[in-house]
Amino acid sequence: MSVAEPMTEDADAPDPTVPPALPVPTVPTVPPVPRSVLELGGRLPETGAELSFQDMVDTAETADAYGYARFWVAEHHSSHRTASGAPGVLIAHIAARTERIRVGSGGVMLPNHPPLTVAEQFATLQALHPGRIDLGLGRSVAGPVRLDGLMEAALRRDPLGAAGFPERIDELLGFLLDHGPERHRFHALPLTPRPASPPEVHVLGAGEGSALIAAERGLPFAYGHHLGRSKCRPAATAHYRSAFRAARAGGRPYLVVSVNVVCAETDEEAEELALDASARLGGPYREAAADTTLSPARALQVARRTLDENQVVLGAPAKVNAELDALARRSGADELMLVPYELTGAARCRTLRLAAAARHTPPREPGRRPTTAPDRRLTH
């Protein structure tokens, strides 16, 4: 009779004394917040008009190639530091020079223009570039502040100014969307041409008043975080969401947050570039010291304070993207709009390229359709 082999414990058998492990919950993948670009048209004093506009086109083409969702141009008048007095003309040219990206105004200052004229211009742009045109609306003068009111007179600005902004938006929407007389006193006048779908309308602002105007009309709200701490009211974003009233079935709040950005290969280089741009751009601290010659130490202090006031996100790609993602979470943004802070096209293109590359967004090949930001057009 053979001797039986001793019994051995099965290594794969579960240990009855150890409780079973809980299943690992599945974490849903959160899609990244879309990113767009606001082009302020900043330029050096010695930069001529031709190069300034080419810088803007180069920046737009870079944004288009690297997957940004929108490219907006600002409206500024009689400014030596910007080159964007005619946003409608720039939009037409930039849309023709790009392939996929949405192009629009950031924004048209509506009290400076008759609503019918704006509606006709942007309906024409939408017909020429179907599904690619945005109309961002603001209410500032967008020019130098003068006690004699010369800028307002030159623009033939609405005497009601900012106070009449809500009514002018209603007129504009009436033309674009063919609303009835309950919100549109010029309803008997047809908009021609009328494209198959209207441009996407956004309200721009930095406070609760603009947020409420957007919310009451079911429009997207572009919050101007880039305008600086002294002008921004962070509570505006929550106010917008709480007051939102959908203008159509399925409508929901849509918040775009703009932010100044400088991105370079290293944190140190980005800070140096941002400080240089800050010193050239000026601001409330620099203007307060305009009558004095600043020592190097004082000039550096003023530049740093200006960067802080303007809430500039700066650094190497990893740092910039981490701070942008944190801003999106903190503000509840549905979309971030990067405002390249520097004064040359090459510098602005560098910031956009590096920020996109850190998100693993390589430049797209020509002819391929991109994934764009959600379409928030109001339709019936």
Q: Is residue 201 part of a domain?
A: yes
Q: What is the pLDDT of residue 17?
A: 62
Q: How many domains does the chain have?
A: 1
Q: What is the pLDDT of residue 8?
A: 47
Looking at the chain, the whole-number percentage of residues with pLDDT higher than 90 is 62
Q: What is the pLDDT of residues 233-281, one digit of tens each?
A: 999 999 999 999 998 777 899 999 999 999 999 999 999 999 999 988 7
Q: Is residue 166 part of a domain?
A: yes
pLDDT surpassing 70 at residue 357: yes
Torsional sign, CA 288, 279, 326, 57: positive
How many CA atoms lie less than 13 Å away from 30 in the CB half-sphere?
7
Q: Is residue 128 part of a domain?
A: yes
By the 8 A CB rule, do 348 and 274 touch? no
Q: Is 222 in a helix, a strand, or coil?
A: strand
Q: What is the pLDDT of residue 181?
A: 54
Q: Is residue 189 part of a domain?
A: yes
Q: Is residue 85 part of a domain?
A: yes
CATH of the domain at 59: 3.20.20.30
Q: What is the dihedral of CA 107, 109, 115, 121, to 10 degrees?
A: -40
Residue 108 sits at the vertex; the CA angle it makes with 54 and 227, to the nearest 5 degrees, is 80
Q: Is residue 284 part of a domain?
A: no
The residue segments making up the domain with residue 140 are 35-263+312-357
Torsional sign, CA 303, 304, 306, 310: positive
pLDDT, mean of residues 151-162:
80
pLDDT surpassing 70 at residue 2: no
Q: Is residue 2 part of a domain?
A: no
Q: What is the pLDDT of residue 116?
A: 94
pLDDT, mean of residues 354-371:
67
Q: Is residue 163 part of a domain?
A: yes
Q: What is the pLDDT of residue 83?
A: 81
Helices 165-177 and 115-128 sit at what angle, rounded to 10 degrees?
40
